[in-house]
Amino acid sequence: MSIPRHWREIPRRYRLEAGKCKKCKVINFPSRLVCPECGGKTFETVKLSGKGKLDTFTIIRVAPEGFGDEVPYAVGIIDLKDGVRLMAQITDCDPTTLKTGDKLVAKFRKVQEDGKNGIIKYGYKFVPDVGV
């Protein structure tokens, strides 16, 4: 898979950087050039808290290529405290015990790797917020 495509997203994937609209103060993740709320075009870079609640989720049993070894794994939509919603894997848990509303926190993990000889793509995943 494309190296530049991953490299370009490093601020989002590694640091959860988002764009806060200077006009309406809404935080957009990923950051955009035009604010979908107010049409504003100037933004301030902010770092998301990485803390939130599970809005909905699924357990992937039939995975896309490259994810097959990880099944079953959970992917969910997380409502962050910052008013942002994003999609990510939920790891470090038995996915069958997850419940919507669970408190989650972001961790830095491997998301994909291009086989054994390609690059490793790191990024955010979420884990149950149990203080470990």
Partner 1 sequence: MRDVAIVGVGLMKWGELWEKSIRDLCVEAALSCFEDAGNDKIDSIVVGTMASGLLTGQEHMANMVPDYLGKKHVPAMRVESACCSGSQAVRTAFMEVASGMSDCVLALGVEKMTDVSGNDATYALATASDQEFEAFHGVTFPGLYAMMARKHMEQYGTTREQLAEVSSKNHRNGSLNPHAQYPFPMTREQVMNSTLVADPLRLMDCSPITDGAAAVLLVPATDAKKYKKHGMVVISGVGHATDTIALCQRKDMLKMEAVTLAAKAALKMAGKTIKDVNFAEVHDCFTIAEIMIMEALGIVKPGQGGPATLKGLTALEGKFPVNPSGGLKSKGHPVGATGVAQICEAVYQLRGEAGKRQVKNAKVGLTQNMGGTGGTSVVHILEAK
Partner 2 sequence: MVGISGYGTQIPRYRIKVEEIAKVWGTDAPAYRRGMNLNEKSVPAPDEDVGTLSVNAAYNALARSGIAPKDIGAVYVGSESHPYAVKPTGTMVAEAIGACPHVHTASLEFACKAGTEGMFIGTQMVQAGRVANVLAIGADTSQGAPGDALEYSAAAGAAAFVISTKNIVAELLDTDCYMTDTPDFWRRPYSHYPAHGGRFTGEPAYFKHVEGATNAMLARAKMKPSDFDYVIFHQPNGKFPVVVAKKLGFKEPQYRHGLLTPVLGNTYSGSSPLGLAATLDEAKPGQLILLVSYGSGAGSDAFIFKTTKRLLEVRDLAPRVRKQLDEHKYYLEYGQYAKNRGKILRAE
**Pick from 130, 84, 85: nearest CA to 104:** 130
Report, in Å, the least distance between residue 22 CB and partner 2.
21
Preceding peptide of 4 cis, ω within 30°: no
For residues 6 and 119, is the Cβ–Cβ distance under 8 A? yes
Q: Would you count residue 79 as binding partner 2 (CB under 8 A)?
A: no
- Report the residue number, 45 or 58, with the smaller CB distance to Zn ion: 45
55 contact choice in partner 2, partner 1, Zn ion, none (CB below 5 to 8 Å, kind-dependent)? partner 1
Residues 70-99 that bind Zn ion (CB under 5 A): none
For residues 90 and 104, is the Cβ–Cβ distance under 8 A? yes
Binding residues for Zn ion (CB under 5 A): 21, 23-24, 26, 35, 37-38, 40
